[in-house]
Amino acid sequence: MPEYYFDLVGPSDRQVDEMGLRLPDLDHAYLEGHRAILDMSREMMKDQIDPGLYRFEVRDREGRVLEIPFLEVLRPGRGRSPIDPASAMTQIALTMRRNETLRKEVTTALGEAQSTMTRIRAALAASVGQNRDRIMEPEVRPARNVGRSGNPSSGLRSPDL
């Protein structure tokens, strides 16, 4: 089972966790960090320390893995750092270009599908029309004359006596 270390990072110091905890995976480490943040925040507030200024840096033996700001747990949705406006605008522009490309692709595919359906309908209509003509008109087969011997004759039929 992997070992995870919960380093406490504040505005002016860092407390390195040297003991660590054995946990099944990073998800369990994240949940354990949440529990610890709730417990530690109560104690910090009793001592009139703002817990919103702290965070855990959860790491495994290879190094830093995950950051959990106390604000993320104490005020969900507000604990994340603000988004850089230039970065956000770049992402929005890229997303809009991608959406436009996808819209054009869908429009083209829809036009091709409609064209194919039109051809299929025309082929079906022609096929149904041909089949209707076959049903309405009896099939005419050339007559085969068979003589008394049972052999086909040359087309002449002898009267039965």
Residues 85-107: tens digit of each pLDDT: 666 666 676 677 767 877 888 89
Domain ranges across the chain: 3-74, 83-136
Segments of the chain scoring below 50 in pLDDT: 79
The dihedrals phi and psi of 147, each to the nearest 5 degrees, come to -75, -175
Burial of 126 (0-12, 13-18, 19+ CB in 10 A): exposed
Q: What is the pLDDT of residue 77?
A: 64
Quote the CA–CA distance of 116 and 93 in Å, as a whole number: 35
Q: What is the pLDDT of residue 127?
A: 82
> CB of 54 within 8 A of CB of 8?
yes
DSSP structure class, residue 68: E
User: Against a cut of 0.85, is the pTM above it?
Assistant: no
Q: What is the pLDDT of residue 36?
A: 95
Phi/psi zone of residue 63: left (φ > 0), alpha (ψ -120 to 50 degrees), beta?
Answer: left
Residue range 53-73, pLDDT digits in tens: 999 999 988 877 789 999 988
